[in-house]
Amino acid sequence: MTPTVLFLHALSTVFMTGLIWFVQVVHYPLKAMVDTGSFTAYQRAHQTRTAWIVGPPMLVEISCSLWLVIALPEPLPPPLLIISFAFLVLIWLSTAVFSAPCHCKLSTGFNPRVHRKLVSTNWIRTTLWSARSALSIYFLLSFGGT
C-alpha cells in the first residue's frame, strides 16, 4: 500500500504545485485585465470551475499525507513527514483565511486592494506547495531505494 500512497501523494502534490505556480504567475495577475462589467460573472465562473479542478487532487493529497503521518513508513524520516503534513495544514489554512475570503469579495466586483491581497498572500501557498513537492519526491525516491 505504501508505494501506491507515496505515488498518489507525489502526483497530487506536484500537480497542485504546477497549478499554483500557473495561478500565481499568470491567472491571478490577469484578473486585473478583465473588463469591470464582466468581472463578477468571470469571478463566479472562475470559482465554480476551479473547484472541479483543485478539489479532487487536494483531497487525494491530504488523504495520502494524513496516511503517511499516521503510518510513518520506514525508511521515511518521521520529522519530515510531519513537516510536510504541517505545510499542507498551513496551505489549507491560508486558503481559508486569505484566498477564499478574497475570492468571495471579488465575486461582488473587482477591487484592486482585494486583488493585490489575493496575489500577495497566494505566495504562501505557492512556496509551501513547492516545498511539499520537493519533499514528496524525496519520499518517493527514498522509499523506492529500499
- Enumerate residues 6+ apart whose C-beta is below 8 A from 118: 28, 31, 98, 99, 102, 103, 106
**pLDDT tens digits along 39-81:** 999 999 999 999 999 999 999 999 999 999 999 999 999 999 9
Domain around 32: 2-144
Rounded Cα–Cα distance for residues 54 and 103 (Å): 15
Number of structural domains the chain divides into: 1
User: pTM for the complete prediction?
Assistant: 0.94
Model confidence at 144, pLDDT cuts 50, 70, 90, reads confident
Cell of 3: 508505494
